Amino acid sequence: MGVIGGYHHVHIVSPDPEAVARWLGEFLGGEVTGREEPRGARNVIVRIGEAALSIRTPRPSDKIIETEGARPFGLDHICFLVDDLKAMVERMRAGGVEIAEEIFAHSGGSDAAFVVGPENVLFELIQKK
């Protein structure tokens, strides 16, 4: 008994899933692959490369805590491999995206950067050398 394959999906909770999906499309090349309303929440499914992100509204049973930009314990970031890190970071900067950490030498000989996405979700972008 165990995990089969990689992760299935990650959820981002947002009062405006469509706006998050647009951001993911504009800056990460995400494509909306579905919309549904399971268990009292609107959900937009976005494919980014081989990954799936679901963005949903809060459910009545959720206990959402405002962090005022502070990073809570738990999931730290979502990482994507990219083919042109420098160009992607510059395009994001020009689009008003907050660059949390400029391009740096990552372990294993790659370059990486961190950007802040909608709902203060931290994204790491890595380009293999």
Domain ranges of the chain: 1-59, 76-129
1-59: CATH number: 3.10.180.10
pLDDT band at 64 (very low <50, low <70, confident <90, very high): confident
Task: Quickly state the pLDDT bin for 75 (edges 50, 70, 90).
Answer: confident
At residue 123, the pLDDT reads 95
* pLDDT for position 4: 75
For residue 74, report the phi and psi dihedrals to the nearest 5 degrees: 120, -150
Q: Give the pLDDT of residue 8.
A: 81
CATH number assigned to the domain covering 76-129: 3.10.180.10
pLDDT of residue 1: 79
Full-model pTM:
0.89
pLDDT of residue 9: 86
Determine contact, residues 127/106, Cβ cutoff 8 Å.
no
Read off the DSSP letter of residue 61. T
pLDDT at 48: 94
* 125: nearest Cα among 107, 103, 109, 108: 103
Whether the domain at 1-59 and the domain at 76-129 fall into the same CATH topology: yes
Cα(124)–Cα(77) distance, integer angstroms: 7
- pLDDT tens sequence across 89-112: 999 999 999 999 999 998 888 999
